[in-house]
Structure formats: C-alpha cells, structure tokens
Amino acid sequence: MVYERIKKAVSKVNFKRYTLYLIRWQLSTPVLAGVLVWLAAYNKLFATIIANLIGGLIFFWVDRFIFTSKMLEPQWQVKENIKCCDCGKIARGYRLVKSNNYDKTKAAPLFRCEECSRLKTRQLKQQGVHV
C-alpha cells in the first residue's frame, strides 16, 4: 500500500524540473562556501547568515524559473471550433504537442474535444507518456 502511494507520487514528478533543481542545489554549495571563505575573518554565525542571504538573493530567481517556467512543462496546442478527430464534434480542440518522452511537432495535428482529449491523455499515461 505504501509502495503504491510512493509510485503514484513519483509518477507525478516532472523529472526535468527535479533534475534542474538537483543541479541548482549542487551549484549553491560552492557559491555559499565562497562567501563563507570571503567572510572567514568575521563571526561564524554572522558569516553564515550573510552567506544564506546572498544565496537566497541568487537562487530565489533560479528556483522561480525551475518551478514556474512553461519551457519545462508539456506543450499543448488549443484551437477553437475544430472538428474532433475521434467523435466529430465541433468544439474547442486540444492536442499534446510535446512532453519529455513524446514529440508530435512534425506530425499532422489531430485535435480532440475536451472529452476525447481526456480519454487520449489517459491512454498516453498508460503507455508511459509523461503528461
């Protein structure tokens, strides 16, 4: 039961974001160490506080990019008044263009209504596509 919960939680992780965050975490170490060396003549507590403030000033923006960037999310295309390629209904159309293990950028666009898009998304997830 616990294994299933962990498996479900891991399946929702955006591994591009997670990898960038881990790289960012590693890069913060030399930056903060450099500040501590620079402030070595001062009290250790003072130097640590200043190093963490400088780290926060720098890495807030990096973290903000990592966790909010649209470049790291699956790319969807949405069009109004399309004919659904599955059911034929005229509606707003959706199609997944690209995710980290799925790329239809060069394929002929096939738009689906919201209902059919949800079904197709479930199918893609079952096939291992990260959506």
Enter the DSSP assignment of 37: H
Q: Is the pLDDT of residue 12 over 60?
A: no
pLDDT value of residue 100: 74
The whole-model pTM stands at 0.49
As a whole number, the mean pLDDT across the chain is: 86
State pLDDT tens for residues 19-43.
888 999 999 999 899 999 999 999 9
What's the pLDDT tens digit per position in 74-92? 678 888 899 999 999 999 9
Give the tens place of pLDDT for each residue, 36-77: 999 999 999 999 999 999 999 999 999 988 888 766 666 788
7 has a pLDDT exceeding 80: no
Strands (E) in 36-107, as ranges, are: 75-83, 90-99, 102-103
- By CB atoms closer than 10 A (0-12, 13-18, 19+), residue 113 is buried
Shortest CA distance to 117 belongs to which of 94, 88, 83? 94
Report phi then psi at 99, rounded to 5: -140, -175
